[in-house]
Amino acid sequence: MLASINAFLRCETPDSWVAAALDNQEILLIDHANCEKKAAATAMNLMYRYTEKPDLLKKMSQLAREELLHFEQVVEILQSRGIRYSKLSPSRYAAELRVLISTDSKSALVDTLITGAFIEARSCERFSKIAPHLDASLGKFYKSLLRSESRHFEDYLGLAQLYGDVDISSKVSLFADKEAELILSADCQFRFHSGVPA
């Protein structure tokens, strides 16, 4: 499953991010919970906005349930470790990707779905990167997320291809370049999807 994700992404997570994640595991877990919650909200938002698309409704309904379950699981991990779930400022990652989303309503859907594919693919890649370095319990949990997160990436990309009237490869390439830039450039804030620690 990681082969298709690594082929989709333009770059690997830098080792410096992995080192920062190990030094900031509380922030990692809190922001991970936030990411799961936002992912569920994004899926629900798409369901409300595109009620006439049954394929989207089915996939997003499944995705929202899974993301909410993951959110619940991360919150339980936080509680078991005595970590208070608190507010964190969002990373630049998703906001910078969304800058590329078209204002045209039809193109906006495809662009939003491509953005979702990159977020899910990067999440999956980061689970695989960090899992071997964590304690046994947390490492096992992150490995367990790989299968569903890789499916989410495929669902988003499949829907983008379904609703794109033309070949979407040039759009995917545009988002891929921006995503790699965000991952490989210096970032003063550590988050689950942050760039190279400044």
Residuewise pLDDT in 10s, the chain (198 residues): 789 999 999 999 999 999 999 999 999 999 999 999 999 999 999 999 999 999 999 999 999 999 999 999 999 999 999 999 998 999 999 999 999 999 988 799 999 999 999 999 999 999 999 999 999 999 999 999 987 778 999 999 999 999 997 889 999 999 999 999 999 999 999 999 999 999
Closest CA to 32 of 130, 123, 118: 123
| pLDDT given for residue 54 in this prediction | 97
Write down the number of H helices and E strands in the chain. Answer: 8, 2
| pLDDT given for residue 122 in this prediction | 97
What whole-number distance in Å separates Cα of residue 56 and Cα of residue 154?
Answer: 13
| pLDDT given for residue 1 in this prediction | 75
| pLDDT given for residue 33 in this prediction | 97
| pLDDT given for residue 118 in this prediction | 97
What whole-number distance in Å separates Cα of residue 157 and Cα of residue 112?
Answer: 10
Q: What angle do CA 37, 42, 48 make, to 5 degrees?
A: 125
